[in-house]
């Protein structure tokens, strides 16, 4: 995707902030967006404790968000794919409550918060979309709390893979074959598991024919979507959210 891409001709705009905006309204949003150089793998988008001045829409690549404990340990709070916004959780704070780091070469649209606030006051659809996105973040936080408190290792991995599959599918990519941009250690951190446990569950899924064998730990092919869904023990509302029939 070219760095000169604008909201009106960006293939991701049906999933991003400009959803439901008219062309003239998208032009107003375009006018406040900053598009800079690509962010290299490992570079910070922003750091925990820095002043909250912008939210970022991922155009290409993947970003992980994480917090640091008082002991300096990292706790991953999310993985953000193309079209997803990073930094919304800072809206009730003068500083970013988490850090954001690129997992691969990543392009973002930077949106200054003061200008976004002013524009959302002029454009009701933009304000509604911001509220939708914030509501989705709250819902995902609740689902993660349930995942970590109630589910087994197999259920956690299955739910994680199904969530990624649904997000790739919404972007027009395959929902059964994709490449993980995060390391097994990141997945383990995010799901509250040991790395060895994550590796064992992936191997078990391959032996059971749920996932295809692969020479690369990051290449995923879901062979038996029904079995993976059953393994995840999803509630009806979760199935609906992921677009999976009961």
Domain ranges of the chain: 7-143, 151-242
CA separation for the pair 231, 187 (Å, rounded): 18
Q: If pLDDT is split at 50, 70 and 90, which confidence band does 246 have? A: very low
Q: If you average pLDDT over residues 191-206, what whole number do you get? A: 96
* 87 within 8 A of 54, measured Cβ to Cβ: yes
- 3-class DSSP string for 194-219: CHHHHHHHHHHHHHCCCECCCCCCCE
CA separation for the pair 190, 154 (Å, rounded): 14
What's the pLDDT tens digit per position in 87-144? 999 998 999 999 999 999 999 999 999 999 999 999 998 898 888 888 888 888 887 7
Query: How far, CA to CA in Å, does 232 sit from each of 83, 102, 165, 227, 246?
Result: 26, 28, 13, 9, 13
Residue with tokens 């780091």: 101
pLDDT of residue 240: 47
pLDDT surpassing 80 at residue 150:
no
What's the pLDDT tens digit per position in 16-66? 776 678 888 888 988 999 988 899 999 999 999 999 999 999 999 999 999
Residue with tokens 């994680």: 160
What global pTM score does this model have?
Answer: 0.86
CATH number of 7-143, picked from 2.60.120.10, 1.10.3720.10, 3.30.470.10, 1.10.8.350: 2.60.120.10
CATH number of 151-242, picked from 3.40.50.620, 3.40.50.1820, 3.40.50.300, 1.10.10.10: 1.10.10.10
pLDDT of residue 215: 82
pLDDT of residue 148: 76
């Amino acid at each position: 995707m070219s760095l000169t891409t604008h909201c009106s001709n960006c293939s991701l705009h049906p999933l991003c902030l400009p959803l439901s905006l008219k062309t003239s309204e998208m032009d107003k949003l375009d006018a406040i967006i900053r598009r800079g150089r690509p962010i290299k793998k490992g570079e910070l988008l922003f750091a925990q404790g820095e002043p909250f001045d912008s939210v970022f829409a991922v155009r290409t690549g993947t970003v992980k968000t994480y917090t640091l404990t008082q002991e300096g340990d990292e706790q991953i709070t999310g993985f953000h794919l193309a079209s997803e916004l990073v930094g919304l959780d800072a809206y009730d704070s003068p500083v970013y409550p988490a850090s954001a780091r690129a997992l691969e070469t990543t392009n973002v649209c930077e949106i200054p918060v003061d200008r976004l606030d002013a524009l959302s006051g002029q454009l009701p659809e933009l304000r509604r979309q911001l509220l939708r996105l914030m509501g989705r973040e709250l819902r995902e936080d609740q689902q993660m709390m349930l995942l970590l408190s109630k589910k087994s290792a197999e259920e956690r991995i299955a739910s994680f893979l199904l969530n990624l599959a649904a997000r790739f599918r919404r972007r027009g990519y395959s929902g059964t074959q994709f490449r993980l941009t995060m390391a097994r250690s990141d997945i383990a951190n995010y799901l509250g598991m040991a790395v060895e446990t994550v590796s064992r569950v992936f191997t078990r899924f391959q032996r059971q024919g749920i996932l295809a064998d692969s020479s690369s730990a990051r290449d995923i092919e879901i062979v038996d979507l029904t079995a993976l869904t059953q393994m995840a023990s999803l509630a009806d509302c979760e199935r609906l959210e992921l677009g999976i029939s009961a």
